[in-house]
């Protein structure tokens, strides 16, 4: 590691072209500021040192064509900071969970408990691990995100051009996502639509918390009952908007929070579920569907339930028969 004091670069401005339009500001900064720690980039954003069109912006801000981005003065670095060496066990895990790979994209069955990227106390996540595993793949980027405890289909672009295409499909609601969630109680079959605006708040610790509020952003999730169990229901959830924690908050708002949701869930229900063997959030991105402009057929990728979730359902089925 280079311990010498690096040269400080002056502030500069970058005008966003078509290739960068639609990209999140945090991902844009991570891509162009090689060697700058992720935590420092988020600190710059929170402190308002990065400006777009002379205004402060949030890390989730999506760049528009013609935006002027101010990059604050930074210390130059001679080489990218290496991430922790990826262990053989993690290498095996990641490679074994690749559901689809082409020259343009990759779909991974993300493990529960692993963040999609580093930051906020997490040294590295899925995308950093993939980049370390595939050093010749220089353009790997997340097309969307999953919560740390959520497993399932995660879409990753292997080129800037593909990232732009996927972001456009996501904005146009042309990427259809299906989640499986086990919720507390008996979900009514007639309740197949939760249309409740959401507002995201970020605590001083960096933790995100989302609430239903009339002045929040439009948010819609549809739900379908898959199976009833004692004191629980397996539902399919289809988010039509991509808000933070959307399915989790909408399920809780409907009175049936997802089991083992330590942020929006029911504490007593979580204790009972843990006693029966459920140790993680029961939310799984089971299917993703999209059609690329360059393809004649729709791409459909499915991620099987993790063995621990399947085993828990079997436990509930056996209990139901008692």
pLDDT at 175 over 90: yes
Q: What is 8-75's CATH topology?
A: 3.10.290
Q: Is the dihedral of CA 68, 70, 76, 77 positive or negative?
A: negative
The residue ranking higher by pLDDT, 264 or 13, is: 264
Segment 38-64, tens digit of pLDDT: 888 888 998 899 999 989 999 889 998
Q: How far is CA 316 from CA 140, 162, 179, 271, in A?
A: 40, 42, 20, 15
Quote the CA–CA distance of 185 and 174 in Å, as a whole number.
32
Residue-level pLDDT at 83: 45
Q: Which residues contact 18 (CB under 8 A, 6 or more apart)?
A: 65, 164
pLDDT at 321 over 70: no
Percent of the chain exceeding pLDDT 90 equals 53
Mean pLDDT of 305-317: 95
Segment 91-133, tens digit of pLDDT: 888 889 999 999 999 999 999 999 887 765 566 788 888 888 8
Q: Tell me what the pLDDT averaged over the chain comes to.
A: 87
Q: What is the DSSP string of 152-169?
A: EEEEEESSHHHHHHHHHH
Kindly give the pairing relationship between strand 74-75 and strand 51-52.
unpaired
Identify the active-site residue in 17, 26, 103, 147. 147
Segment 132-164, tens digit of pLDDT: 888 888 788 899 999 999 999 999 999 888 988
Query: pLDDT-based confidence at 16, cuts 50/70/90?
Result: confident
Mean pLDDT of 25-49: 85
Token code pair at residue 112: 């529960």
Mean pLDDT of 21-31: 85
Active site residue 172: no
Token code pair at residue 177: 């996502």
Residue-level pLDDT at 82: 47
Tell me whether domains 88-166 and 173-320 share a fold.
yes
Residue-level pLDDT at 320: 64
Helix (H, G, I), strand (E, B) or coil at 188: coil
Q: What is 88-166's CATH topology?
A: Pseudouridine synthase (3.30.2350)
Query: pLDDT-based confidence at 271, cuts 50/70/90?
Result: very high
Residue ranges per domain, the chain?
A: 8-75, 88-166, 173-320
pLDDT at 234 over 70: yes
Residue-level pLDDT at 206: 60
- May I ask the CATH class of domain 173-320? alpha beta
Token code pair at residue 261: 């949701």
Kindly give the pairing relationship between strand 151-157 and strand 283-290.
parallel
């Amino acid at each position: 590691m280079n311990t010498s004091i690096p040269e400080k670069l002056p502030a500069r401005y970058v005008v966003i072209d078509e290739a960068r339009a639609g990209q999140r500001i945090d991902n844009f900064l991570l891509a162009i500021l090689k060697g700058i720690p992720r935590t420092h980039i988020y600190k710059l954003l929170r402190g308002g040192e990065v400006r777009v069109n002379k205004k402060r912006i949030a890390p989730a801000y999506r760049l528009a064509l013609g935006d002027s981005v101010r990059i604050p003065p930074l210390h130059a670095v001679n080489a990218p900071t290496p991430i922790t060496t990826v262990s053989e066990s993690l290498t095996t895990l990641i490679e074994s969970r690749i559901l689809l790979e082409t020259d343009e994209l990759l779909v991974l069955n993300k493990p529960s408990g692993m963040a999609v990227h580093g930051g906020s106390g997490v040294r590295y996540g899925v995308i950093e691990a993939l980049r370390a595993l595939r050093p010749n793949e220089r353009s790997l980027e997340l097309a969307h995100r999953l919560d740390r405890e959520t497993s399932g289909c995660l879409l990753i672009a292997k080129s800037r051009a593909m990232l732009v295409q996927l972001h456009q499909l996501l904005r146009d609601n042309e990427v259809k996502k299906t989640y499986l969630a086990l919720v507390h109680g008996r979900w009514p079959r007639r309740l197949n639509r939760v249309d409740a605006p959401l507002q995201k708040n970020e605590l001083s610790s960096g933790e995100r918390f989302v609430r239903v509020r009339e002045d929040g952003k439009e948010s819609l999730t549809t739900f379908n009952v898959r199976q009833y169990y004692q004191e629980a229901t397996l539902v399919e959830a289809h988010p039509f908007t991509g808000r933070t924690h959307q399915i989790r908050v909408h399920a809780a708002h409907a009175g049936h929070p997802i089991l083992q949701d330590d942020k929006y869930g029911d504490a007593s229900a979580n204790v009972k579920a843990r006693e029966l063997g459920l140790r993680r959030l029961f939310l799984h991105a089971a299917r993703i569907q999209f059609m690329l402009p360059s393809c004649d057929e729709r791409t459909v990728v499915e991620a099987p339930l993790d063995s621990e979730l399947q085993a828990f359902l079997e436990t509930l089925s056996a209990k139901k028969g008692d």
